[in-house]
Amino acid sequence: MIVFCVFCVVLGIGSFVRTSENQQTWMMLRNGLKTYQSRVYQKLSRTYKTSGIPELTQERHNVKRGNYAVLTDKDVGFFESVVGSNHTIKEKDELQSYNVDFLRSVRGNSQLVLKPGSVDEVSTILKYCNDNKIAVCPQGGNTGLVGGSVPVCDEIVLSLQRLNKVLSIDEVTGIAVCESGCILDNLEQQAKEVGLVVPIDLGAKQSCHVGGNLSTNAGGLRVLRYGNLHGSCLGVEAVLANGEVLDLMSGFKKDNTGYHLKHLFIGSEGTLGIITKLALLCPPAPKAVHVAFLGISSFDDVLKTFVSAKRHLGEILSSCEMLDANSLAASLEHFDTKSPVDGYPFYMLIETSGSNEAHDAEKFNTFLEIGMESGEICDGTITSDPGKVKEIWSLRERVPLALINDGYCFKYDISLPLRRFYEIVEVLEKRVGKMSLRVCGYGHLGDSNLHLNVSCKEYSNELYKAIEPFVFEYTSQLKGSVSAEHGIGFLKTKYLGFSKPQNAINMMKSIKQLLDPNGILNPYKVLQ
Ligand code: FAD
Ligand code: 2HG
Ligand code: ZN
């Protein structure tokens, strides 16, 4: 028997179950979900206890320091005269959080952090560094997951956190202009006030910078709807290694005047220039948002449900995420919460964003009914209540943090052909056996982007060797991408060749040589 509460969709939250033995789920939903924290990562912060900090990257990865100048008191004096001593960090304890990444997977040994307050200050600092061959690591919110945001050796850290202003948001054109150190969530709040939405959303939004998002070409939860930042970014202002300011700001979607240079700075992870300002095209905020959380009994049915979602939800489909049972279990255990749907090997989170509540609900209902009747969807819950929408999203968004809380987590962010999307999770699970606590797969199914995570109690070199390069070889054999959205940073440089031909890498090196001939910008990252 199929029980499906159509009206509840309109009322706020509904549940549908395939058989009556699942009535318990329905009861729980009627009584309201537990009050989850509204956003998983209120403000991402990790405190650094001595025991939790990783070995120095230079030692763990046996890195030979580049031929850069060693910082002198004279250099520090110069930098203080530019940014002011109150915007300079030299104390060992304070330096720690700028030297260690969010995952605690890498640790640099920088002796100096600079926090410039204007593009001119960034320019003066870079000119000096270039003239004196001092290496620089640009840093945004330090939420990057590939070791790109912290120094490898003793590069100075150039933090963009003071360049944090929203400069303008135009309701008519939909263009938002901000400084690069603006926190994504702040931009989103201000865009919302004029009925717009920032076309990128991710779990780290309360800490990451919009400039950091651009520098990594971050993907996130709604690439399926809005595409990636190469499409939404209208312009950037960037400071080159020699201090020159390149003004590529534009207020137009269409501008075919020569090479599209702004794209060089999108996704180049601070190796070609420092982004100081940017313009983003923001679409109107959707009037109706529905989210369903579904229990599915096989990966084959996950794919069928995705195809059905594209066909039946069409233009209102805004996100299609997948979690396996181990991912959901981690989220539930570490955050001590319950899921409205439980006991399945796979779960899907499907979101629609549109402009007509009744029309969208009707479409969603049709999609769900078809899925239930065919047996592809076994169980689920749907809501359009904003609070409940957040609760459901938090089941998914908590997964990365939950896995880090297992102790240590090896994270892989790969693009794979959809038909073979999940097999690597099962293969890897067999391969690493008891060396790991959990092997799991989740992520942006709608973009063919799998987050393959292996958690363990603490970093283990043996486990590391069992996973790498195996995961990258496997990905490459399937013609996938070894980095779908997080970038190459420091941790993936060895594997760039698994996704790019040598002549493309050579061209990247020529561009780097042209823009940063002394190699001072984020050395040891992206290119080896
Ligand atoms: P940082 O981590 O500080 O830096 C990232 C890189 O960009 C570094 O190489 C740095 O040198 C460079 N950089 C930073 N700012 C500038 C600048 N102004 N100019 C030049 N170079 C600069 N990523 C996704 O793609 N999708 C997700 O869904 C996603 N979810 C996440 C969830 C969590 C919980 C966490 C912790 C991370 C997640 N990430 C995700 C990864 C990360 O948040 C993104 O890569 C983000 O874009 C990094 O922004 P940031 O400001 O923290 O940059
Ligand atoms: C996400 O989609 C992020 O949640 C993080 O990209 C993925 O930590 C990860 O592996
Ligand atoms: Zn992701």
How do residues 93-117 score in pLDDT, each as one tens digit? Answer: 999 999 999 999 999 999 999 999 9
Going by C-alpha positions, the residue among 401, 420, 419 that lies closest to residue 475 is 420
Ligand 1 residue neighbourhood (C-beta within 6 Å): 41, 44, 102, 137-145, 148-149, 160, 180, 202-204, 208-209, 211-213, 215-216, 218-220, 269-270, 274-275, 400-401, 485-486, 489, 522, 525
Residues in the chain: 528
CATH for 166-281?
A: 3.30.465.10
Amino acid at 17: V
pLDDT at 20 over 50: no
Distance, CA of 13 to chain centre: 29
Question: What residues contact 143, with CB distance under 8 A and at least 6 apart?
Answer: 44, 102, 149, 204, 207, 208, 212
Range 51-159 has CATH code 3.10.580.10: no
Token couple for 484: 């779908």
Q: Which of 102, 126, 143 to mutate to test the pocket of ligand 1 (most atoms within 8 A of CB)?
A: 143
pLDDT at 1 over 90: no
* Domain spans, the chain: 6-23+37-42+286-400, 51-159, 166-281, 406-514
- Tokens 């995961």, residue located: 471
Q: Is the CB–ligand 2 distance for residue 443 below 6 Å?
A: yes
Q: What is the mean pLDDT of residues 66-86?
A: 98
C-alpha 143 – ligand 1 centre gap (Å) = 5
pLDDT digits (tens, 9 = 90+) for 273-283: 999 999 999 99
C-beta separation of 62 from 108 below 8 A: no
Res 33: pLDDT:
30
Q: Which atom of ligand 2 is nearest to the CA of 486?
A: 6
The ligand whose atoms approach the alpha carbon of 449 most closely is: 3
Q: Which atom of ligand 2 is nearest to the CA of 412?
A: 10
Going by C-alpha positions, the residue among 455, 452, 464, 466 that lies closest to residue 423 is 452
Q: Which of 101, 106, 113, 145 to mutate to test the pocket of ligand 1 (most atoms within 8 A of CB)?
A: 145
Res 58: pLDDT:
97
Q: Give the phi and the psi of residue 114 in degrees, each rounded to 5.
A: -115, 140
Which stretch of DSSP H or E encloses residue 89? strand 88-89
C-alpha 358 – ligand 3 centre gap (Å) = 31
| β 156-159/449-456 pair status | unpaired
Instruction: Let me know if the fold of 6-23+37-42+286-400 is the same as that of 166-281.
Output: no
Res 52: pLDDT:
77
Tell me the three state secondary structure of residue 247: strand
Token couple for 527: 């290119």
CA distance 296 to 298: 6
Mean residue pLDDT across the chain: 92
Q: Which fold has domain 6-23+37-42+286-400?
A: Alpha-Beta Plaits (3.30.70)
Q: What residue owns the CA closest to ligand 1's atom 33?
A: 204
C-alpha 226 – ligand 3 centre gap (Å) = 15
Amino acid at 442: Y
Q: What is the mean pLDDT of residues 301-328?
A: 98
- What are the CA-CA distances from residue 425 to residues 177, 188, 254, 450, 462 (Å)? 41, 34, 42, 9, 19
Res 23: pLDDT:
30
- Tokens 């078809």, residue located: 370
Edge-to-edge strand order for the sheet containing 113-114?
88-89, 113-114, 156-159, 136-139
Q: Which CATH entry fits the domain spanning 406-514: 1.10.8.60, 3.30.70.2740, 3.40.640.10, 3.20.20.10?
A: 3.30.70.2740
- Tokens 């939909």, residue located: 174
Question: What residues contact 458, with CB distance under 8 A and at least 6 apart?
Answer: 407, 408
The ligand whose atoms approach the alpha carbon of 219 most closely is: 1
pLDDT at 127 over 60: yes
Q: Is the CB–ligand 2 distance for residue 451 below 6 Å?
A: yes
The ligand whose atoms approach the alpha carbon of 411 most closely is: 2
Res 342: pLDDT:
95
CA distance 224 to 207: 23
22: left (phi over 0), alpha (psi -120 to 50) or beta: alpha
pLDDT at 21 over 80: no
Token couple for 416: 């794979």
Q: DSSP string of 256-287?
A: -SS--THHHHTTSTTSS-EEEEEEEE-PBPPS
C-alpha 486 – ligand 2 centre gap (Å) = 8
pLDDT digits (tens, 9 = 90+) for 417-435: 999 999 999 999 999 999 9
Q: Which atom of ligand 1 is nearest to the CA of 209?
A: 51
Q: How confident is the model at residue 252 (pLDDT cuts 50, 70, 90)?
A: very high
pLDDT at 459 over 70: yes
Q: Which atom of ligand 2 is nearest to the CA of 396?
A: 4
Q: Is the CB–ligand 2 distance for residue 203 below 6 Å?
A: yes
The end-to-end CA distance of the chain, in Å, is 60
| β 438-444/317-324 pair status | antiparallel
The CB density around residue 169, as the number of other CB atoms within 10 Å, is 21
